Chain A
Amino acid sequence: MTQQHPYLLEMQGITKTFPGVKALDNVTLKVRPGTVHALMGENGAGKSTLMKCLFGIYKPDEGEIFLDGRKADIKNSKDALRHGVSMIHQELHPVPQRSVMENIWLGRFPMKGVAPLRFIDHKKMLQDTVALFEDLNMAIDPKQLVGEMSVSKIQSLEIAKAVSFHSRIIVMDEPTSSLTGNEVEQLFAIINKLRARGVSIIYISHKMEEILRISDDVTIMRDGKYVGTWQASELTIDDIITRMVGRDLSERYPARTNKPGDVMLRVDKLTSIHPHSFKDVSFELRKGEILGIGGLVGAQRTELVEALFGLRSIKSGAIFKDGKQVNIKSPGDAKKNKIALLTEERRVTGIFPVLSITENTAIANLGLYKTKFGFLNESKMKVEAENGVQKFKTKTPSVNQLIRNLSGGNQQKVLLARWLLTDPDILLLDEPTRGIDIGAKFEIYSIIIELAKQGKSIIMISSEMPELMGMSDRIMVMSEGRVTGILEDKEASEEKIMRLAAQHGSQAG
């Protein structure tokens, strides 16, 4: 063994079994010092379980962890920090009512005075924080309340915190999921700086383009097993997908067999009551058409579709369905006008976690099950829920299962079944495949296309460029609340969409 060990972190032969499932089966992860190491796999491939083993949250049944070639015994996240291993979570958990510096030094405030009269040394804390931010080139006010900061700033703060622990390994779980293009660049600049200092980053993300840009090595997992490790420069997106899915996906998107017909929905100069939300949005949606909406974070796409569904108020403008003007003030109104919405935040505004699949399917259209006396027919509910499960191949032991026990993709299928029971003409889909693994994505795409083929009109918001281009008949691009362009499928390119998305909305014609 040489002085400078070739690997900063080695996880070898990690196996972890839960009742009924082998979550990890002989998994290996070897991270070189000063590299960005992407960890990839579909949801459920075992990435999080592996990281939980690294942080001592789970104790592996078999396998060993080495840091710098020495065996490390990490029992909890405190141990991990002491070994220089820290994690930036996908969902950040700062204390919003406290300042930036207090958040960084929480639990280890610098003290002054003599016991028992020891007090927090605010001056030193401020100095340390300023030095930390200067070192990392971050423009953050140490005294600002964290609750007032943007997500990207909070993320920078968490990274600074990890650095303040002198971490040599930083795990980042989907760090760009809520960042804009510009913020991603800033994050990458910080990552590059850390890498240059010999810090290793374990980078978990589903965004292929990003992975190929930032990472040195890529480890791919599938179904709890180790598939392999490659240098990022040797890989293409298709290589990664093939290895993650374990079968050739010759097509990432099913063939579009829908035929757009007459105009179903016309939106005329729709303007939000909020000054910084959508403005003067006009477009048409045809029967059997899939209209994609592209744009960056802050483009107000979600706000627009939520207004079409009656969840947000409009100041001016009109919505025409089948040529007649409709007035939609609540989701109930939208339902009456045969408009359905699948929200972006499936767990927050979609599922009822403690209720069964049957109840989750039935809830938006209970009128369907009323008997003569106004009571609900439960067996009919079950039959409809089972129909939904069969039609969309939802994986579940039974419709009595609580929805929270299903994977994201299967939950999404239940929600689709829920809204299809309201027999909508127009389906608004807000990031319908977010957080869903590739195999399930393909199934959801097929369902969407099938629905369009049946004559339903579909609006689909997506932040994934390939998805927008692969699925849409036309793509409407928004920026800062305004429509900056509508592209026909044939003329769309990533570059064109990007340019429209980055254009200043206020300058749009």
Chain B
Amino acid sequence: MEATKGLKAKNMFSQNAIWLVLIVLILAISVMDVNFLSITTFRDMLIQSSTRLIIALGAAFVLITAGTDLSAGRVVGLTAVVSASMLQMSDYGSRFFPDLPQMWMIIPILIAIAIGLLVGLLNGFIVSKFHVPPFIATLGTMVAVYGANSLYFDMPPNNSQPIGGLRKDFSHLGTGSIGSGDFSLPYIVLIAIFVAFIVWVVFNKTTLGKNMYAIGGNIQAAHVSGINVAKNIMWLYAIAGALYGLAGVLEAARTGGATNNYGNMYELDAIAACVVGGVSTTGGVGRVKGIIAGVLIFTVINYGLTFIGISPYWQLIIKGLIIVVAVAFDIRKYVAKK
């Protein structure tokens, strides 16, 4: 009985250690500069975390199957450009499509998400049908998607000019909030929370979610259990792609523009956040709660260390250390079992 209790306490600790790290980090920064503890900073950090969280949640669908997705950042870039190109003000000087009529905002958004989904589906197809290792398959689409995006971005009359002059209603999606002043809640944060909830439901309450853990836990046993592994993998990569698509739309809306370089290397931040948040690189393990903490930790490091005036180069070193240490701890759990 005592032993079980001890074990439970230990489990509780190891599952929540990441939150502890987050709190300690916030406290440490606050000790250096008490101004850090303000509603404004926290709201800023939540806004910064929103799109990252959506991308990280997308990447988690793939990581938990013991795969990886390098195409995330470039898909964000592509969908940011596509949605921005169709959502410019009608009186803006250099429009991407000069004669495009005004349409419901939701249409370009859905188009962008659908593009993300298709890229994801392609990734899943290459991985599950041709058995190309996910690292290579998504490396290929990552490069190709950037090429496609650059071609689109370079079409006349745009000729690789940054896309600006976005419609007010679209920008409002990225920068507006419910309520006003200190207690306002940005839409983008609400969207991220909503997405996190949906992903939690998919992970925990659907067949697809259970199959995802099973495939990552032991792909052969999943096959023997009668799971259609190929079909599930395609769906999981597709959902990941759709989430990158949504993140791309929000990035365009938040920043009020887009270029073909948007999203560059975001996949690495997403993977890092997942891994630090307890998603196992060997597959089968990962929870939404942990991923949220992982994303927040990196935001706090970025924002907080800048806040107290630490060089961004030092931030990179600290980030790198955290990633390696987190994975080393994770792997240790499995090595110790032998």
Contacts and interface: CB of A to CB of B under 8 A. Distances in A.
B217 A354 contact: yes
A331 interface: yes
Contact of A341 (B210, B213, B222, B224): B224
Contacts of A348: 218, 220-221
A362 B210 contact: yes
Contact of A359 (B207, B210, B226): B210
Contact of B214 (A19, A359, A367, A375): A359
A331 B206 contact: no
B337 A404 contact: yes
Contacts of B285: 354
A316 to B, nearest CB: 24
A172 B190 CA distance: 62
Contacts of B280: 354
Contacts of B222: 352, 363
Contacts of A354: 217, 280, 283-285
Given A352-B217, A376-B210, A363 B284 contact: no
User: In this complex, which of B4, B204, B214, B218 has the most chain A Cβ atoms within 10 angstroms of its Cβ?
Assistant: B218
Contacts of A378: 204-205
User: In this complex, which of A343, A349, A351 has the most chain B Cβ atoms within 10 angstroms of its Cβ?
Assistant: A349
B205 A363 contact: no
A352 B225 CA distance: 11
B210 A343 contact: no
A353 B210 contact: no
A381 to B, nearest CB: 9
Given A352-B284, A397-B4, A334 B206 contact: no
Nearest to B4: A397
B191 interface: no
Contacts of B223: 311, 331, 349
Interface bin, chain A: 20 to 34
Contact of A349 (B206, B217, B221, B227): B221
Contacts of A311: 223-224
B227 A363 contact: yes
A352 B214 contact: yes
B228 interface: yes
A370 interface: yes
Nearest to A375: B205
B206 A343 contact: no
B201 A366 contact: no
Nearest to A354: B284
B103 interface: no
A415 B264 CA distance: 45
B3 interface: yes
A331 B225 contact: yes
Contacts of A418: 225
A355 B283 CA distance: 11
Contacts of A363: 210-211, 214, 222, 225, 227
A364 interface: yes
Interface string A376-410: 10100000000000000000010000001000000
Contacts of A275: none
B207 A376 contact: yes
Interface in B177-212: 201, 204-207, 209-211
A422 B228 CA distance: 16
A353 B222 CA distance: 12
B202 to A, nearest CB: 10
A349 B280 CA distance: 20
Nearest to A373: B205
Given A335-B226, A349-B224, A404-B337, A355 B217 contact: yes
Interface in A166-220: none
A370 B210 CA distance: 12
B64 to A, nearest CB: 10
A366 B207 contact: yes
A418 B209 CA distance: 18
A20 B220 CA distance: 34
A228 interface: no
A114 to B, nearest CB: 41
A311 B214 CA distance: 18
Contact of B207 (A309, A350, A370, A422): A370
Nearest to B218: A352
B185 to A, nearest CB: 28
A376 B203 CA distance: 11
Nearest to B284: A354
Given A359-B213, A397-B4, A376 B228 contact: no
B174 to A, nearest CB: 32
Contacts of B4: 397
Given A352-B218, A376-B206, 19 more contacts: A20-B3, A311-B223, A311-B224, A331-B223, A341-B224, A343-B224, A348-B220, A349-B224, A350-B221, A352-B217, A355-B284, A363-B227, A366-B207, A375-B206, A376-B210, A378-B204, A397-B4, A418-B225, A422-B226
12 contacts: A19-B3, A331-B223, A331-B224, A349-B218, A350-B224, A351-B218, A355-B213, A359-B214, A366-B211, A370-B207, A375-B206, A397-B4
Q: Nearest 4 A-B pairs (CB), nearest first?
A: A352-B217, A331-B226, A375-B205, A354-B284
Interface of A: 19-20, 309, 311, 330-332, 334-335, 341, 343, 348-355, 359, 362-364, 366-367, 370, 374-376, 378, 397, 404, 418, 422
